[in-house]
Each structure stands twice: as C-alpha cells, then as structure tokens.
C-alpha cells in the first residue's frame, strides 16, 4: 500500500480544470518527485495530500484511508508541508517553532533546528534577520517540530541560490534515508535527476509517467519526451 493514493482525482477551480482524472500512488519511502512544466497541477496534487486543496471528483487516500475522513488538523501535522517561499512569522525563531508546538521546551526546539542542520543559537534570532536559505531551513525545522510522517515540499528551493539549494536537497535525501519519506515538487529536470527515487511526470493536469527516473528517457509518451528533451 502506498503512502498516498489518488483515485480518479479531478480538481476544478474558477480558472478551469486543474487536474483531470488522476490516478497515482506515492510510495511510503524515499524521495518522490512530482515534475512538470509550470501550471501543470503539481502543487495542487501536493496540496491535496494535506487537504489545503480538496478533490472535486475522486478521492485521495493516506495509508489507505480517505483523507476526508481524517481530521484535517491532525492530517496536516502528520503530513508536514514546506512552501515555495520561506514564510516566517513575526518574532524570533523560537516564536516560529512555538506556532507549530506551543509551550515545548528549548531542547525540543533545538532538536528540530538540529535536524534542519541549524545551531540552537538560532532560537533567539529575529525571524526577519536571517538569510533566505536559513529561513527555509527554519521553515523545515518548524514543520519537523510536529514530528510528521512525511514531508511535502512545494518547490522549496525556487527562491534560493545554488548553495542553499543543494543544502536543502541534501537535507531531503537525509530525511528519506532516515525513514521520513519526502514528496518534492519541481519543474527543474536536473534537480529531479539528483533527487528522485520515484517520479511522477505531470503535464496539463494529467500524470503522464510514473516510475523510476532511469526508465524515463526510454518512455514512449511524446509529451513526456518533449518535456524532458525541451526543458533539458
């Protein structure tokens, strides 16, 4: 059984149909990369997993259970999300971590920072005075405070330079190796090749390829070939 399963999922918004009858599975280990051109529906697929978005048709399963039957607040703590831009709240880094887990002791917060490869001295830093790469890692730490079973990462390096980008990729790999699966959205093929254990190629609201990265180039779908070739 997969970690997440989408069964005939369609999503319609006032902008039109974002996803069309998507059936796909996200395995319970490693790094799964959702790749595709901008506006293909990758982020929507990710947001379905923690119910920031709901399916218009079909259903989304988490460990075989329909997400609409799970308390959304509990689901979001089990499936932690990191967004495209580092979104820190006011106050210090400690205040930020306390939003996720109010009233915890500094040792707990420091442990979360440590998992995101940040020193505990960061706890007293004003959140608006740290660099973009560090801010994104604070966001990762803030998500880790709730001890999630899976990390959903929505183009988390889009706003970062090369060095912090690679650092965050290494971190994702580390989490997956530790047993916390990662679902990573990107439109960059080089990043996809560095990270993916499992791959879903999303084009125009449909999953056109699901499988290993190695088998991608020999895949016969012309749209997938055009995307992989054109974006290279």
Partner 1 sequence: MIDTDVTGAGVALSLLLVAVAIALSWWQRLGLQRPLAWASVRAVVQLVVVGTALTIVIDEGSPPALWWTWVVVMVLFAAETVHRRAPEVPSARWLALSAYGAASAVTLGVLFGLGVFPLEGRTLVPLSGMMVGNSMNATVLVARRIVEELRDKRPEVEARLALGQPSREAARPYVRAALRTALTPQIETTRAVGLVFLPGAMTGLILAGVEPVDAVLVQVVVMYLVLGAVATTTVTVAVGLARRLFTSDHRLVRLPRPADA
Pick from 12, 13, 190, 214: which binds partner 1 (CB under 8 A)?
13
Interaction of residue 56 with partner 1, rule CB under 8 A: no
d(CA 3, CA 5): 7
Read off the DSSP letter of residue 127.
G
Footprint of partner 1 on 162-221 (CB under 8 A)? none
Does 85 participate in binding partner 1 (rule CB under 8 A)? yes
Among 51, 137, 187, 198, binds partner 1 (CB under 8 A): 51
The token pair that represents 74 in the structure block? 């509990």
Under the binding rule (CB under 8 A), the answer on residue 16 touching partner 1 is no
Q: Which of 4, 62, 83, 184 binds partner 1 (CB under 8 A)?
A: 83
For the four alpha carbons of 145, 146, 148 and 154, in that order, the dihedral sign comes to: negative
Nearer to partner 1, 54 or 215 (CB): 54
Under a CB-based contact definition with an 8 Å cutoff, are residues 9 and 199 in contact?
A: no
Q: Is 160 helix (H, G, I), strand (E, B) or coil?
A: coil
Q: Tell me the sheet residues that pair with 66.
A: 61
Of 18 and 189, which has the nearer Cβ to partner 1?
Answer: 18
Question: Binding residue for partner 1 (CB under 8 A) from 9, 34, 61, 100?
Answer: 100
Q: How far is the CB of 37 from partner 1 (least distance, A)?
A: 22
Whether the CB-CB separation of 6 and 22 falls below 8 Å is answered with: yes
DSSP H stretches of helix in the chain: 42-49, 72-78, 93-100, 106-115, 132-144, 162-178, 189-195, 222-230
Q: Is 43 in the site for partner 1 (CB under 8 A)?
A: no
Contact set with partner 1 (CB under 8 A): 13-14, 50-54, 68, 72-74, 76-77, 80-81, 83, 85, 87, 89-90, 99-100, 139, 142-143, 146
């Amino acid at each position: 059984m997969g970690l997440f399963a989408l069964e005939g999922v369609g999503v319609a918004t006032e902008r039109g149909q974002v996803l069309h009858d998507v059936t796909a599975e996200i395995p319970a280990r490693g790094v799964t990369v959702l790749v595709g051109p901008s506006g293909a529906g990758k982020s929507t697929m990710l947001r379905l997993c923690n119910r920031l978005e709901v399916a218009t048709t079909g259903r989304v399963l988490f460990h075989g259970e329909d997400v609409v039957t799970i308390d959304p607040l509990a689901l979001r703590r089990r499936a932690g999300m990191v967004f495209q831009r580092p979104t820190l709240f006011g106050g210090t880094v400690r205040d930020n971590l306390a939003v996720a887990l109010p009233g915890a002791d500094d040792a707990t917060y420091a442990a979360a920072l440590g998992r995101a490869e940040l020193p505990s001295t960061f706890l007293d830093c004003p959140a608006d005075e740290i660099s973009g790469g560090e801010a994104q890692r604070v966001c990762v730490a803030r998500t880790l405070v709730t001890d999630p079973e899976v990390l959903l990462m929505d183009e988390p390096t889009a706003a970062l330079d090369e060095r912090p980008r690679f650092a965050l990729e290494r971190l994702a790999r580390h989490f997956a190796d530790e047993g916390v699966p990662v679902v990573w959205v990107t439109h960059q093929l080089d990043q996809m090749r560095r990270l993916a254990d499992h791959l879903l190629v999303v084009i125009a609201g449909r999953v056109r390829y699901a499988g290993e990265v190695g088998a991608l180039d020999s895949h016969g779908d012309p749209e997938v070939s055009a995307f992989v070739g054109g974006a290279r």
